[in-house]
Amino acid sequence: MHALVFDTFGGPEVLSYREVADPAVPPGHIQLAMRAIGLNFADIYRRKGNYTLAGKAPYIAGYEGAGEVIAIGEGVEGVAVGDRIGFADVPFANATRVTVPLERAIPLPDDIGFEAAAALLLQGLTAQYLVEDSYSVRAGDTVLVQAAGGGVGQLLIRLAIARGASVIGMASTLEKQALAKAAGAAYALGYDEGWPDKVRALSDGGVNVAYDSVGITLLDSLSAVRSRGTLVTFGMAGGPAPLVDPRYLMEHSKTVVGGDLWNFLTDRQQRLSRAGRLFQSFRDGVIERPRIETFALSDGAAAHARLEDRRFSGKIVLLPE
């Protein structure tokens, strides 16, 4: 098979597309011929050496994608060659073949294409657990969403509105603020000095919950939360988050919650149930497929450079030849 690999950490130039050994198909696993692969910022962090990587050099990044079953391991039932399968948490996805544990395999309904699955699963399941589990958004809530013009941000806005909330979105450019508004945000603000004051003014003293994936904005997000409100931190795209003073939390009765999707996709039933609800939200028009830009898997270095462009918004999907 062929894969997008790197032997050392660094910029997009360390990536190369070359032939590697075919993966085995152990008992309890299936193997897919990949048709679409989602590219995420986590793949950039892995390429730079900032995230843990499975295996050893040459490294293969990627955890999200969709394809057709071409081989079935011993003991696997209920799956046939040719079935369409997606996944959100399987390593070595940047390859023409990927071996998937059965418990992580998500059958794709007929109305969910390969590209849609690769564009929706990871970000959609993330937005879903954030509004359902990290903090259960309720009708009448006011919600602050950081990086509101990004993939997860736009999905968060739509899912929160579907639960009866009003959303204030934060985004770094006018274009991304427009995307937040198009997703349904009542207000879309930039990171001008004093923006937490503006958020408090627009939310009668503070929001019920703030979702922060930027990291460096964490303390400002916390200050925009009302007394007895919640801050959910689930990423550090802008840099490491500052430390939070526990005394501040006590004095203002605020809660800080961490979030990671892998703590919610704990078994096959969870994956199937959550993916099923996500696909239904897509059918019902609650969420939309993000704007997709496609690159050949062999052109992965250009895809990484495009994703790192601060002007980019949407989803990049890699297509194996």
- pTM (predicted TM-score): 0.93
Helix or strand (DSSP H, E) at 196: helix 195-202
Judge if 147 and 224 occupy the same domain.
Answer: yes
Domain final residue, candidates 207, 240, 259: 259
Residue 250 lies in a domain: yes
Judge if 61 and 88 occupy the same domain.
Answer: yes
Strands (E), 40-148: 64-72, 84-87, 97-101, 106-107, 142-145
> CATH number, domain at 56?
3.90.180.10
DSSP state for residue 97 in the 8-state scheme = E
Residue 130 lies in a domain: no
The total domain count for the chain is 2
Residue 284 lies in a domain: yes
Residue 127 lies in a domain: no
User: What token pair was written down for 269?
Assistant: 């039933």
Instruction: Please give the pLDDT value at position 312.
Output: 81
Rounded distance, CA 254 to CA 22, Å? 51
Judge if 76 and 167 occupy the same domain.
Answer: no
Strands (E), 202-283: 207-212, 225-233, 255-258
Residue 134 lies in a domain: no
Judge if 93 and 26 occupy the same domain.
Answer: yes
Mean pLDDT by 10 residues, the chain (321 residues): 97 97 97 97 91 87 97 97 97 97 98 96 97 98 96 96 98 94 97 96 98 96 98 90 96 96 94 97 94 96 92 90 84
Whole-Å CA distances, 149 to 153, 188, 269: 6, 9, 31
Domain final residue, candidates 226, 259, 292: 259
| Residue numbers of the domain that contains 80 | 2-121+264-319
Judge if 255 and 143 occupy the same domain.
Answer: yes
Residue 112 lies in a domain: yes
Cα 276 → chain centroid: 17
